Structure 1
């Protein structure tokens, strides 16, 4: 994300849930006024947008993890993502052009 109002330690809320046969991957950064809800079906390449850019996503379940690709045609980039539980936290591992990063999300009680 490229948001001028966003601090390095800005809290990010990530919600991934299923509604009918569609999955929602909702990203919220309250202090930056950012909300993005990527909606997809497992095993199908689905168009969407992220930060103003057109993307396609294709996810499937593999061994309890959500695994897939996000394609950014305008930049000729493909990001490979894996979301899986790591204890009580959600771990996201992403790889693009040989660069790997990992991020953890803490579970909040509602």
Structure 2
């Protein structure tokens, strides 16, 4: 008898959870339907700017596809420039940067 009562309580709780879930889903479906109705199909489908890429972007993509090492070469050049800059900063003595108005303001 106790097993039957436990099974009944379990089934009742399971049905309650299922009803709650179904109610939440129906609420969300109604919200979605209202939102979709608020969008006019004309305004959504008239957006042509996202259907094709600008010509300038297509040209740059074509350029990079023909020369796949361009980005690598640019990165190498920037790294070399950075190394040269670091070396020259280490070699040159530090100069004090002075601003003519600095002393008047802070002193």
More strand by share: 1
More helix by share: 2
The normalised TM-score by structure 2 is: 0.14
Task: Between the two structures, name the one with larger relative contact order (CA 8 Å, sep ≥ 6).
Answer: 1
Which of the pair has more CA radius of gyration?
2
